[in-house]
Chains A and B, each alone.
Chain A
C-alpha cells in the first residue's frame, strides 16, 4: 500500500519529473499525428489505385492478346466463381496522342485502353472519375450536349469553387461552333485562292492558320487537323475484308462534323489540361474536339496506324501517373482498328480481363487459384497490390522509418526520466532506509520507483494521446490557421489533389504507441529502482 501512496506523493511534490514527461507527451503526440496523416495519405492513395485497377488483373504477356475472352471468363468463373462479383475484358496498348494547339502539334505518349462501357464501371471506380454527371452514372462514348461539371465533382466542400470555366460550353455546342468557324475560315480561304491562283497548297495554309485565326484559334487548329486527317479516314474504306462494315454507317460518305462525331475517347485530364497558379484548370482541348491517336496493330511485326477520335469526357483519378497517361476508348472500336478480330471465326482478342471480387474475398487466394489453372508462361495473374507493389511498399517503408525515428525521440525522453529518477533516488536515500527499517522488502522499494515510472509514462502518454488526437481531428483547421498566419500555403491541393489533409486514426497503432511510450518510461525507471532496492539500510539511514 505504501508504494501507491508514496508514488502518488512523489508525483505530486516533484514537478521536475513532469518536465521529463513533456518529451514523452510530445513524442507520443507527434507519432499519433504523423501516423494518422501518413495512414490517411496512404489510404487515399490506395483507394485511388484500387479504384482505377480492379481487384485482380488477368492478362497475357503478348501485345496481341488472347482470343475469346468469353471462354476465359467461363474458365475463371469455373476456378473461382464463388468469389467473383464482376469481370470485364480490356485491351491496352501503348500509343501516341496528337492534337494541335495554336498551330503546334502536341504529341503525348499514352496508354490506349479499350474498355467495355457496359461492364467496366462494375469492376472499378472508373465511372466516379468522369466530368459529366450522366457519364458518372453510365458511361457513353457518345458526345453529350453539354452540362460538364465546371467544379471538381470529387470535392466535398459545400460550395466548391469553379475551377474549370472552360468546360461550360463543352460538348456538341462547342463542336458546332468550332465547325462553323472552321467552315467560314475555309470559305474565306477558297475565296482567297480563287483570287490568287498562285497561292500555296492546302497543307501550308493549314499550317499557317494562326496568322489567319480569329478570336478562338485553338478551335480552328483542330478544325484544320480534322481536315488533314479526313483523307486518312477515307482510305480506311479501301481496306479489304472488314467484317464490321455494317457497323460503320459513315463509311464511304463524307461525314458532317457538326452533327456527327468520330469514335469517342476519354483521355486523362492531365493530358489535356494544366493548372495555373490561381488554381484554375486551363484546357488545351475540350470535349467535342477531335484528336489523332497512333497505335500499333496486333500483327507481327506491329504496324503503326492512326485514327481520329472525338473527346467525349475527361478522366480524373487524381493520381497524376494515370491522369496523364490513360486514354479510354470503346473496346470494340479498338479491337477492330488493331485487327484483333479473327475474320473467320469473328472472335475478338483482348489483352486482359479485369476481375472484381465480392466484398471480403481473399485477393491472394483467388489469385493463387487462378495461377494454378492458367499456365504462368502464357498468363499473368496479379492483384492490384502486386501491380502497385513498389509504390505501396515505398510508402510502407517511409512510414516504418518515420516511426523508428519518432520512437527514438521517446527513447531519448526515457533517458531524461532515467537521469531524473537517479536524482530522486539519491534525494530519497534516507526515506528508502527508513522504509527498509520499517520492514519494506527490496522488491517493494523497487516497486515504488517502477510504479512512479509507470505513473509518469501513463500521464505523459495520456497527455500525448489527448494532444495528438486533438491535432489530428483539427488538422485542417490548424492548417488554415497557419496559412492565415504566415500567408504561405502549407498544403497545396494542386500538388496533392486532395482538398484537405486526410487522416485516419487506427486504434491499434495508437495502442502500440501508448504502450510503447509507457514501456519506455517503465524501462527507464528500472535502473534507478534497482539501485534503490540495493541500498544498504544502515548506510541509507546515515545519508545526509
Chain B
C-alpha cells in the first residue's frame, strides 16, 4: 500500500478523518405506470480511502441503483452523498459531470465500450471528454503514453488498435478498467464486472482489481450477487429490501 502509483492517498484508518465516499439516508423510487417501486429506503454506507468494499444482494435489491447514485448518474429522492466529507449530490450539473470525469471511475457488467473506437481510443475517451481540441493536442502525447502503459499492464499491449468486437469479453472488461483508471479516479465503482464472463476470466478480472487495490491503494466498490466474489473484498455490505443489513 506504500507504492501509490496512482497518487491515491494511503488509508489512514484514523477515525476522525471523513470517509472517502459516504452515503447517508439514501432513498430512491421508480415509477412504472401507477405503481411505485421503492428501491432504496434509506441506505447508510461509507467507503474509506484504500478500501475494497463488496456490496452484495439479490437481484432487485437496489445495489446497481446505489452504484449509479454514487456515480452521480442518477439523482436520489432524498439523502446525501459526500466525497471527502463534502456533499456532491446537490452540485450543479456541470460540476457533477466534472466529478464523474475526474474523481469517479466506473466499470459495468456489459463493458460499455464505444464500438467505433479501438482499445486505445476507448481508454483515451474520458481524457478527450476532459480536454478541448487545442488542449488535447497539447496533452495527447502524455495521455497516449499513459493509456498504453495501462493497457500493457493489463496484458493488452498487442491489442491496442483492435475494435471492441475483435476482443474477447475478458479483454473488453480490462479495456474498460483501463478506461476507468486513466483519469486517476478517487474511487472505482464496479457493477458486476465479472457477470458476463466465465469463471476463469472473471477470476482474472477480480485478480486485477485486487491487485489495483493492494498495490495502488485504489478504493473500490464492487457490486455483485456472488458471495464467492464478494469474499475477495476487505468488507462486505449486504443490501436487502432497500436497506443495508448489518453483517
Residues of A whose CB lies within 8 Å of any CB of B are 1-2, 4-6, 9-10, 13, 430-431, 433-442, 444, 536-538, 541
Contact = CB atoms under 8 A, between A and B. Distances in A.
Chain B, interface residues (CB within 8 Å), range: 20 to 34
A38 to B, nearest CB: 42
B100 A442 contact: no
Nearest to B121: A5
A1 B115 contact: no
Contacts of A4: 133
Interface stretch (B101-109, B145-153, B230-238): B101-109
A1 B97 contact: no
A437 B133 contact: no
Contacts, number: 71
Q: Is the interface of B mostly helix, strand, loop or mixed?
A: helix
A541 B112 contact: yes
Which residue among B68, B101, B114, B131 has the maximum number of chain A CB atoms within 10 Å of its CB?
B114
B74 A537 contact: yes
Nearest to B176: A434
B73 A2 contact: no
A438 B116 contact: no
A437 B117 CA distance: 17
Interface string B44-87: 00000000000000000000000010010110000000000000
A438 B129 contact: yes
A6 B116 CA distance: 8
B106 A435 contact: no
A439 B133 contact: no
Contact of A9 (B73, B102, B117): B117
Name the 3 nearest CB pairs between A and B, nearest first: A439-B101, A1-B136, A2-B128
Contact of B73 (A431, A436, A441): A436
B109 to A, nearest CB: 10
A439 B97 CA distance: 4
Given A6-B116, A430-B112, A439 B74 contact: no
Contacts of A9: 116-117
26 contacts: A1-B129, A1-B131, A1-B132, A1-B136, A2-B129, A5-B117, A6-B116, A13-B116, A430-B112, A431-B115, A434-B114, A435-B129, A436-B100, A437-B100, A438-B126, A439-B97, A439-B98, A439-B100, A439-B102, A439-B126, A440-B101, A442-B93, A536-B74, A538-B73, A538-B74, A541-B108
Contact of B97 (A10, A431, A434, A440): A440
A444 B115 CA distance: 19
A2 B125 contact: yes
Given A1-B132, A430-B112, A438 B73 contact: no
Nearest to A10: B116
Nearest to B131: A1
Contact of A538 (B68, B114, B131, B135): B68
